Amino acid sequence: MKAFENIIKKIFGARVRALRTEKGWSQADFAFECGLHRTYIGAVERGEHDISLENIKKIADTFRVDIAELF
């Protein structure tokens, strides 16, 4: 199960990074817009963090996408 969880975190992180760079935002700018810390965003993008549903919602809202579009 651990390997599957790591794959999901990596997919999610790659999607966040792709959307962020598509919009031309730095990690710092994006973190500010989300109300999260820049280092947290970096860890999420690298698939290193177990992210809460609340923070997934903040990220989706900042991108103005449905949560499903982040996976």
The pLDDT tens digits for 21-62 are: 999 999 999 999 999 999 999 999 999 989 999 999 999 999
pLDDT of residue 1: 64
User: From CA 59, how far away is CA 15, in angstroms rounded?
Assistant: 11
Owning domain of residue 46: 2-70
25, exposed or middle or buried, with CB in 10 Å at 0-12, 13-18, 19+? Answer: middle
Band of pLDDT at residue 2, cut at 50, 70 and 90: confident
Backbone angles phi, psi at 54, to 5 degrees: -60, -45
Q: How many other CB atoms are there within 10 angstroms of residue 59's CB atom?
A: 24
Number of domains within the chain: 1
